[in-house]
Structure 1
């Protein structure tokens, strides 16, 4: 079984570029590069991964693609491109020349307008993704799920994936209305969900595996084992647990080997069209 981490970040730390890292997250105020990630992946038995944007700049997208080009275990990049740009097709065409460029993400959770994803110019950008066979990662909070539902309904052929199970309030033990809303989104076959970023939505120092599993169960019951994938959210996960610990929590939820094969690798391969670098033409 080939295990793939479908969600991690890389960065050369900059107080300006990474202003979202406040003093409570001081452990993240340093560089996190491929060599650091590979040590963690190797210990946990993972051989491939997908690097996801953390800054809303094309400069970072270029950085991730550059790292992917010289690190064969980075199988894909989900970068940032301004989907509201008047020349969005030109920008997507440029980045699509890189075989590792698999998809796009915008930090929707930080936008003042909860319906930012439904603005006409943003929708035009989403519409352009299909032309280049690109995926879209949806990064939101539970309050955004009703709008995400409208988004995925507008583009039934566009592959979407919900990052971090939409960040439910695990620390407070809240399920509703997140549960009902995630179930509604899951009814659309073009939407997947990442089992990632959960420990950082719980109490960083006192979360339990049982607690996390309750939320995983809701997601797996809604999406099934064919549309969920594991992600470490490294290095952000370090706020609440080390790489191997975080990955093991998700792995332990699944008992059947065929289910593990899908969730720990196969689903990410299919969603992002990943290939081993030695197989790439």
Structure 2
């Protein structure tokens, strides 16, 4: 079974293209050569490269990298679902996403009939959709996912929970989304949400709640490298997930560390 990092980014840093990057340590290039040693040390076989810019040029950039670097197993590109013919086929694109969290009105975007038309077309062609929202919009995200159940929907970063409010509140918020069998969740991004001074004891209850709600077969490990570098080293992020999985059976561990990502992104299976 492949061990897969299901969520990381590459970029040639340009201030105008990455205005969302507010950590000075991240204002530089991050490319496959820099990640390769981290993957090797953590015994990760490959990764899924996820868009970091909302533009079609991002897809070509990531697909070109995937063509040259075998460790990039697939690309989650960007797509504008509000265009009349939104799906741009590329054999290396295994899914798409749009940063809904950055929309002026995420609620309106999630409920849009125009977006719904694009989602139907996307799912008909068996592409997964990475859902990037925050804890503020879990209810609307559940309605969106229920409306679009023809293929996989992948919740990024556990829906960016409010860490200070605690895992029990997040568990209640996420439960309607987790109840949908075609929705899977990435164990990623928590160190960034927690910020400086995060502790494993603070974050593991969120992982435990995700495990209870989704089960191992609908969870996947993602480092969110290099964004996570602002708060933790790559190995620290892996170690945090290892703490969650160490008491699970071997098949359950394999699901989280690669099986779910392989099934959702790399095999073209339906939900």
TM-score (normalised: structure 1): 0.91
Flag as ranges the 4+ runs of structure 1 deviating above 4 A. none
Which of 248, 251, 270 is matched with 2:239 structurally? 248
Task: Give the Å deviation of 1:46.
Answer: 0.4
Partner residue, 2:117? 124
Partner residue, 2:53? 55
Which of 214, 217, 229 is matched with 2:208 structurally? 217
Alpha-carbon distance in 2 for matches of 1:249, 1:176: 19
Task: Give the Å deviation of 1:131.
Answer: 2.4
Partner residue, 2:218? 227
Task: Supply the RMSD in Å over aligned alpha carbons.
Answer: 1.4
Partner residue, 1:32? 30
Partner residue, 2:155? 162
Q: State yes or no: 1:208 paired with 2:208.
A: no
Tell whether the 8 Å contact from 1:75 to 1:274 is kept in structure 2 after alignment.
no
Tell me how many residue pairs correspond in the alignment.
265
Alpha-carbon distance in 1 for matches of 2:55, 2:243: 36
Partner residue, 2:189? 197
Provide structure 1 residue ranges, at least 5 long, that are not aligned to the other structure: 276-281
Task: Give the Å deviation of 1:57.
Answer: 0.5
Task: Give the Å deviation of 1:229.
Answer: 0.2
Deviation readout 1:231-258 (Å, 9 max, x if unpaired): 0000000011011110110122112322
Provide structure 2 residue ranges, at least 5 long, that are not aligned to the other structure: none
Alpha-carbon distance in 2 for matches of 1:211, 1:100: 37
Alpha-carbon distance in 2 for matches of 1:141, 1:175: 14
Paired residues for 1:58-207 under 5 Å: 58-88=56-86, 92=87, 95-96=88-89, 98-115=90-107, 116-170=109-163, 172-175=164-167, 177-204=169-196, 206-207=197-198
TM-score (normalised: structure 2): 0.94
Partner residue, 1:278? none
Paired residue secondary structure (2:5): strand
Tell whether the 8 Å contact from 1:152 to 1:160 is kept in structure 2 after alignment.
yes
